[in-house]
Amino acid sequence: MPTITPFLWYDTQAEDAMNLYVSIFPKSKIISVNRAGDTVVSVVFELQGQKFMALNAGPQFKFNESVSFFIECETQEEVDEYWDKLTANGGEPGSCGWLKDKFGLSWQVVPKVLGRLMGGGGDPARSKRVMDALFQMKKLDAGRLQAAYDGK
């Protein structure tokens, strides 16, 4: 059975990106760094059990928001931690839980409770309040989303 591995294209920063990501996510490891002389050509690493490959292939292509990695967090503390680490040193906060790391790769940092809250428990007014609150946020705040759900 085939495997599917995300493949990331960097200008020259594949190894730096891999090192950052492996330092952020606890169940992570470097699998290989492939060089041509002193130049890193590609890297293979694992984040939370998911294998990734990355290539240094020049500036022709840039990341954009059409592809992102979704981090579902159990707690607000996790949301805060991943948000802060991924936006550090040149990363950029976006809207509605989206951000770009310093390499331009898009991530979504989302509290697990969001799906339930957006469903509104079958109440369209609750769903609308949650969506209205969500659209006002950069980093998602589970407490504020819950308050919107509750009508507070």
Residues 78-97: pLDDT tens digits? 999 999 999 999 999 999 99
Q: Residue 36: pLDDT above 90?
A: yes
Domains of the chain: 1-56 (3.10.180.10), 63-152 (3.10.180.10)
d(CA 6, CA 141): 29
Confidence of residue 121 (pLDDT cuts 50, 70, 90): confident
Query: pTM to 2 decimals?
Result: 0.93
Element of type H or E holding 22: helix 14-24
Residues 9-35: pLDDT tens digits? 999 999 999 999 999 999 999 999 999
- Region 131-152: mean pLDDT is 97
